Structures are given as structure tokens and as C-alpha cells.
Amino acid sequence: MAGKQEMEKLAWKWTESVTDEEVAPKHVETAYGLHFAGCKFGRCRKNCKWNPRCYEGLGASDWIREYDDSVWTDVEDPDREKRTDNSHVGLKNLGATCYVNSLLQLWFHNTEFRRAIYAWRPTEDELDFVENVDETFRPMSCIMQLQRIFALLQFSNRRYIDPSSFIKSLGLNTAEQQVSLPSSISVGQLTFIFWLKDAQEFSKLFIALLEDKLKSHEDPGVRNVIQEQFRGEYDYITRCCRCSKASKYRSTFYELDLNVKGNRDLDGCIREFLNEEKLDGSNQYFCNNCRSKQNATRNIKLEKLPPVLNVQLLRFVFDRQKKEKKKLKTAIKFPEVLDMRQYVDGSSKSFVYDLNAVLVHRGSGAYSGHYVAHIRDRVKRSWFKFNDENIEKVAGANLRLVREDIDGQYEEGDGPRLLCKTNGRLPRGYHSSGDAYMLVYHLRIDDEVFKSEVFVKWSIPNYLQDVVAIDNSRFDEWVTDMNLMRAKNVQTGKEKQREVMSLFKMLPCLDIDKDWQWIPTQWLVRWLSDNSVVPPVTIEEKRCPHQRLLPESVGNLKCITTKAFDQLYAKYGGGERLGKESLCADCVASRCRVLRLKTKIKEDHKTMMRICRAKPVDSEGAFWVGKVSFRCWRKLALDLALSNIQTKDRQSNFGDAEDVEDAVESGEISHFNDDIVCPHGKLSVNESSRRLVPTPVWHCLKSYFPFVVEFVDSCSTCTHCIEEKAEGLQLKENLRESRRTLAIEQKTRLGDLYTGCNRPQLDKLRNTPVRYYVVSSDFVKRWRKFVRSSTRLEPVLNVSNSTLLCCHGGLLYRFQLASYVADQMKNKFVFLHESEWKQVCCMFQVDAQITVTVSSPNVTGSANILVFSPEFCDSCFETRVEEEAKELLVYNHATIFVWKVSADDELTGSLVKTDPATEDQLVSERSAACSLGDDCVQLAKKKRTNDMVPGSDTLSLRRSTRHRKGQGEKALTVASSKTLRDLKLEIMRLFSVAPFDQHLTLDGRLLVGLDSTLGQLGIIPGSVIQLKVDEPCEEILDEKVSIPEEGFKGTELLRS
């Protein structure tokens, strides 16, 4: 369908041949768009706004089709939260607890360990015993919480459970470990984590905590389960190279910590762990047999291996240069079947282990990422991937590792690939990973023994059975409630669909001769929208002066049958009803008259332009018209013709006249030719404001403006205006001459002040005290400008020394002799000799007198003594400094600069870029600001050029203050109300650096606090912020560094 302009032309096309007196009912209906044919269903992409009989694009198409029940409700299907048959239960990620979830799933799938945890009783712990004296299960200790987690993981009906109580029992605060990103950044289903807890550290600490808790249990199977499942033994063997005597030291281990650097497979990692180490030089061994330090060798010998062999791949290492943890991405190949007999000397036992779990850390850094566990179900003999709430069964019977980026997308190609790059195809039964940090192997046992240990009916304590039963009952009630809510929503949606389908067929008004009603388009949209509250049917469109509907309101209304309107009105109610009687014939006739007038004006304008271009102006006589009047005559003519029409009607009839001049210059003219009529009613002397037009053009204009004053081409200008103009020119010339004379006189009498020569030397020693007078530098700058441009500028009449004084009459600014000596004119004060002061008092009005007395010191080598009158006001000075500092920290649309530096650069003095040409100037500024405190140093920098006095000797040394961007530097437009988080997001857009990899410093100070505003951080316009990027590391440094972890300090895992 055509647009607004085309529709309007079609609706009012009949006005070309019909006058306002000939308007008939059919013309009125056409003007309201009622004669437009209704659009067929499916023909329009969107609703034709200016066709009241177009019902497309309002939302009806969304109702007249068959839908699934899920469309009618926004409540998720609760059955999806149910645990399916023969599936495992997941654990909810609380923000930074994915490392805990992966280890909980690992320990849960150790059946012997799970059975021992079930066998523990609350009476074994003093805290739990006191809390459960009434036999009500209120778990307090971490073991009882672990019991609860294991019971729900095994018997819950939920798809996943919440481990919040377990996390809380350990004292872990997830809010301190996680920083959420804004919703505008898509991170998929995973969460970026700052200061991520070390999963390897958590595993060691929690196992140690359990061992300590269980050691007092009366059942040996429970008391020793940690030792029996995870503890192994090895000897440290040290052999003297001189006497060959060996000493042994037996040690236990729960995990084998293997280095990753320099190794490509698990075999190489184990052999490096067992390799012989030389002790020589400063690391010599004290041999008891030789009674002295000797060269020696040391190695580790495995003596006893546990049933569950935990292998920790040390990927998270400490970088001594950067003083932070890094992750090694070295790929390690490991087998599904591990024969440890080759590493245990002289043992006839079988040490064949089967791979049972692989724990993976996704991410490139040590302080961010996500933890996932791949665990083999020994009963089902299948592999599963445990990713917090989501659990996936791996296709086939073998482990399959794929690498997914943090956002859930594959890094390369269209499908999954190996967790790391490998040199060729992997042998059968092997896997390789650059993200695996923990491997768990189970000792292979006979099938009969395996069945006796695994395929046993589980028995858990009664209080745990009650916990599971209550939780399942609550979950089932929730599922029932959600299903009822979904059913109610579905029923409501289907009822609405039936209503829409039945009523929408009755809406179209096919015959305008029958009864019909207006209805707001937006009401129909809301009625047809899903899940919206439908208001009463109320037409809020403005009425015309005759209290009927304006023709321009058609775009917001639709015409529907009275039958359909009655049903909608009966159900939803409403206000005034408007039908055929609402069409206003008077407004249509008035609009017809205006349109015909506009058409005539348009045609006459073309004719006049053609005459002006074709005929010479003075061929048949000419008339003077104003240039502005001639340019805007169409607007003036239309306004004059509509002057008798009421204001509302004028607005409705002229508001969309796009072919008429849009506006008349504000305040210039209100009537035609006002711009060439002088105040005396004669022709204006301003020849540039008028032009000549031929007689036919003037007669045409005269027909629109019959009362306009005529000025033929021979008409003389106003004699009074000519005389006034001559007098005005003479006055202006006299004024310029007087100012020029005044400037010359002032320059002659104050020549040294103007040129900056022979200024008072405050640092010179004198035998007797000398008094000088002070004026404001602002006065000197304004006065010098006037002397240079006396004919253009107003003369300076006052010496504004009051700007240097506070309300108490004291000085607001400190004077620094060092900065004055470096640059005499760059100061708030300008000093005058007594003779100069007398001349100033004669020529200007002085609002305050300020003097300084200079005397030589009593001690040789000291600076001159300066005594100001009036004295300096300390309290007002501090107030002024604070106010100016606050003004610097409040800004909008200011520019700052971000400089990306390499990791090797220091974010201190070497990074501060200073223009060599301004170094001397900065020295003087710093010395001048030293007494003002640190807060005013930036104020001095800001006023670096504002305080320069033009015309002084320093003008030849003026430097540009425009910031020069260096390499790797980009500009940002910010406001002081923006937060550091917003700034980091802007930097991410410019430099493609994630926020958690950004280290921002300003003047050597690290910017922290994501919710702090830029004003609070002290960032002012023009600041240069250094950006250092945290790059991922591939290899560890050569030195082995052992740094104690403090991530769990203050929790139950690590008591301080």
C-alpha cells in the first residue's frame, strides 16, 4: 500500500475539481479514507496506517494458526527438571563453584569412599551431636553436608541439586570469588571468574580435613578410608658419592604431583618424578658416615601404591617475573590402561590401573576459566561429562575429549576436535589434552571382587532417607504446581485464540453504507498481543472545533463493523462511541479551501519565477520588494488567508504543507514588505534588503496582499533615515578615534607594563626594603588586548584586584618566588613599581590595593623576605583548592587517553611521556604547586596555558598544549559518572582485550574497584591511562618455586 503522502494525495485528489461550497458526503468519506479498498489477507507486510480498512500487521496472523501447548505459556516445562531413568544428578554452579562440583562428582563415584561417608554418624562430631539432640537432621559439619550431597546425588528426583549448604559449611564465599559481567556481553552458559580458587589446592585441603574428622571414628572402615583409598608410600633415597652409603626417608602421598614442562606424555612425567637428582656445590649432602658434606644423588622410589591413584598435572605454576600464577598449555598424552609395575622396583604384585576420571580446566589463564569432569561409571561401564547442572553421556564405551571455548563454541572447524594439538594420530587407547589437570586411575580388580564391592544394595541412615524423601516430596509438589500453572495458561491462551478467530472474521467493514464504528489501532494491537492486559475501548484522538473527529486522526484508527464492536465493547467496556456521525464536513470543506489555495499559490509562484527569469527588470517598469518577503511570500500569503480560521483548525490544515516555505526568519517580518519599510513608513535606505520585480509579478503579489505599500523603482529613500545614518557613521568614527587616542596614551604612560620590560626583580638583594604594588594578571591581559585592538574592543575601566581576595579581605593565592623567577608573567600576580601604580590609579578605577614589601634576609644565602598586605587567608585558600579540584572531577563528554604498553615496560617514570619542549615549564609548575598539596598539581597543569600573559617575553616560547597521541594510544570520550567497569568495556571494544586481562594504572597507581566512578578514581580530562595486558603463558620458568596458597585462608579448609 502507498505511504502517508501518496495516501493523502489520493484522499484529497478530488479537491482539484471541487470547491469548498461543492463538498458532498462522498467527498467527506473519501477524505477520511473510507473509500480505500480493504487489503486482502496476507497481501501487506505491515499495516497500512492511513487505510482505515486495512487489518493486516496488527497481530491477527499469530492467532489464526495451530500451535503447540508450550506457545501459550512462558512457564518452562517442569518435567525437564526431572531426573530421567538411569541418569546422574548434576550440581548447580553458584558462580565460582565449578571446581567444587567436579571434585564432588569424582568422590561420589568412588563407591568405597561413598559407603564410608554414609557410615559416619552425627554422634562422632560434637557440633553435629549438639545440633541433632532432638533427632532432627540439621547438618552443620562438612561431613554431614557431604552425606546429604551424596544421598541426593544418588536418590534425588531432580535433574540437579543445590550445593549451597555444603559450600557454606566450608566457609567459602562465592560472592568474593566472582565478578559478574554486564548483560550486553554474551558469555554463553559459563561464567567468567576472577581470582578462581585452585581446584588442586581444594582437593588436597578437603581430603586432609576429612582425614582429620574421620580419625576418631570407631569403625576402622570409616576411620581409615582416606588412607586405604588414596594413600601411597615412597622413599627418598640419598646416596653418598664417596662412601656409597644410602639413607632412606619414608614419606606418604595422596596424589602424585607431576611436572608438565618438558614432557609430552604421562610416562615422561612419572620418570622425571622418579629420576635421580644430583646434590653438589652449595647443595651438598651431609653424610653421617663421612662426617662431612659430600656430593650425592637423590631419587624417589615408589614402595606402595593406593587403589585410587590421583595424578595431579601441575599446569598452574608461579611466574617469578610477573609474580602471578600462569597456566601451562603443554599437551600431555596419557593411556587408558596404566601399568605402574615398571615404576615399582622388585615387586611381583599387579599394578595395572584403569583410567576412571579426567578433570579438565577450560581457559587460557590461571585466574579465569571453567572446570569440567569426565568420569567413568564403573557400574554402567560408560563415560559421562559432568558440567555442573548438565550431564552428557559420551557416545560409545570409550572416552572422547573435545575442546569447547568458554562461550560453548568450537574454536576451529565445524565440529569437535581433540583437547589439544598433537603431532599426528594418537595410538589406540591413548588420549592427549592441554587442559587436563587431574587424572584418576583405579586399580584393576577381579570381576568377582568388583561385583561384590559395587553391585551391593545401598543402605543409608534413616535421617538421610528422610532428607531425600522430603526433598523429593517438595520437588514433586513444585512440579505439580508448575504443571497446573502451565495448564491454566494454555487454557487461557486457547480461549483467547478462539475469541480472536471468531471476532476477527467480523471486523472488516466491507460496506461503508452500513453501520460501522471507529476503534483505536493501538487497542487492536494490544488486544491481539499475547499475555497483555486489554484496557477499555477509548478513543483519545483530539476533536475538531466542531467536536467531531479530525481527518488527520485516520492514521490512528480503524473502521470495523458495529457487530464486532458491540461484542468487544460488551466484554472490555469503553468510552464514547464514534461512527458515521463523527465525520466533520465543515473541516473537510475548510481543508479543501486550504488545499486549493496552496495549489494556486504554488502555480503563481512558478509563474512569477518564470517571469523574473525571462524579462529584464526595467523593461516595463518595476517595483521594490523585500528579499526576505519575496522569498517567504507563500508562507505569508497562506497565513493571511487563514487569519480568520480558528487556531486549532489552522494547525490541522497547515501543519503538513510541505510545498510552502517552512518558516519566516524569527522577528524579521510579520507582514509582506515589512523588511523594506523604515520606521517613518518610507523606503528603507538599506539597498541590500530589497530587489526589483517586474510589474506582472507585483500585480500577482498585490492580489494576495492588497494593503501592501507600493514602492516603484523611481521612489526615493527616506530623507530622515539618510540623515540619521550619516550622523551614526560620524559618531562611530569619533568613538573609534577616541579609543585609539586612549590606547596610545595608556601605552605611552605604561610602556614597560605593556612590553614586559623592566619588571620588579624580587630575587635581587637590597639594602633597604622596597614596596611594590600588585594587580591581577587578568586585568593586564584584558588591557593589553584592548591596546592592540582598540578600535574593536571596549576599553578597560577597572582594575579587578578583588578576584585575588577572599570574602575576609585576605589573599586567595600563594606567591612562589621560584616560579616567578622562572616565568615572571605566568602568575596570578603582576607587580608594579610605585610610579606605574600612580599612573594606573589615575587612568583606572581600582577596587582594592595590594602591596608587597621586599627586604633582604638577615642570614646570608637565604631568599628575600616578601610581606604581602593584606595577608594570606589559609582557610579560604583550602576551600578554593577543594572547589577547583571537585570541578575537575565532574565532566561530561571529556577525552582521556589509553596507552597500551608491553608486559616488560614499567608503569612508572619510564612510561610518562613528556614533551621535551615543555619540561622547563613543568618544572616551574611543580615548584609553584608544591605548597598547594597534591590535589592542586593537576590544577596547575590544567592552567598551564590559561595563566600565560599575552604580550610578555614568554610569548616567543609558547608551546602547544594539544595532546599528542603516541603509538599504541587511543582516545576515549567519557563522563565522570561512568564506572571502571564501563571503562574496561570500552577498552575491550578498542583493543580487543577482555576486562579480566586488563591492568589499568594512572600515574603509577593501579585502578581498582569496578563499581567506582572515574571521578572517584581521580581520572580528569586529558589523563593518560596505561593498559597492561595479561598474556597467557605456554611454559613455566626454569626455577621451581613453591608459593603458599592463601586462596582458602579463613575457611574451614585452612584455619589461620
CB 375 within 8 A of CB 105: yes
98 flagged as catalytic: yes
Would you call 355 helix, strand, or coil by DSSP? strand
Q: What share of the chain is helix, strand, coil (3-state, %, to 5)?
A: 40, 20, 40
Active-site choice (39, 98, 142, 592): 98
Length of the chain: 1056
Three-class DSSP category at 1039: coil
Give dist(CA 168, CA 142) in Å, integer: 9
Picking from 325, 362, 318, the residue whose alpha carbon sits closest to that of residue 195 is 325
CA 124 to chain centre: 52
Which amino acid is it at 907? L
Query: What is the rounded distance in angstroms from the CA atom of residue 1054 to the CA atom of residue 1056?
Result: 6
The 8-class DSSP code of residue 950 comes to T
CB 675 within 8 A of CB 629: yes
DSSP state string for 391-413 = EEEPSSSS-----B-TTSSBSSS
Residue tagged 640419598 (cell numbers): 238
Taking the C-alpha atoms of residue 549 and residue 546, their distance in angstroms, rounded to an integer, is 9
User: What 3-state DSSP class applies to 1023?
Assistant: coil
618 within 8 A of 692, measured Cβ to Cβ: yes
Rg, the chain, Cα only: 46
Which run of H or E residues covers position 144?
Answer: helix 142-155
Residues 6+ apart with CB under 8 A from 396: none
Phi/psi of residue 501, each to 5°?
Answer: -65, -35
From the list 668, 609, 667, the residue with the least C-alpha distance to 634 is 609
Q: For residue 701, give the C-alpha cell.
A: 503579489
Q: What DSSP string describes 952-980? A: SGGGGG----S----TTEEEEEE-TT-BH
> Which amino acid appears at position 667 of this protein?
G
Burial of 967 (0-12, 13-18, 19+ CB in 10 A): exposed
CA proximity to 661, closest of 688, 632, 692, 638: 632
Q: Which string of b and e fits 494-530 if b means at least 16 CB within 10 Å? A: eebbeebeebbebbbbeeeeeebbbbbbebbeebbee
Nearest to 886 by CA among 1010, 976, 1008: 976
Of 88, 109, 217, 370, which is the active-site residue?
Answer: 370
Q: Can you tell me which residue has the cell 472545533?
A: 545
The residue to which cell 571468574 is assigned = 193
Q: Tell me the backbone φ, ψ of residue 887, rounded to 5 degrees.
A: -60, -35
Q: How far apart are CA 942 and CA 185, in angstroms?
A: 37
Q: Extract the C-alpha cell encoding 97.
A: 563453584
Integer Cα distance of 702 and 695 in angstroms: 10
Phi-psi region of 839 (alpha: psi -120 to 50; beta: other; left: phi over 0): alpha
Would residue 370 show up in a list of annotated catalytic residues for this protein?
Answer: yes
Q: Cβ contacts of residue 767 below 8 Å, gap of 6+?
A: 856
Element of type H or E holding 437: strand 436-443
Q: Any idea which residues carry the catalytic annotation? A: 98, 370
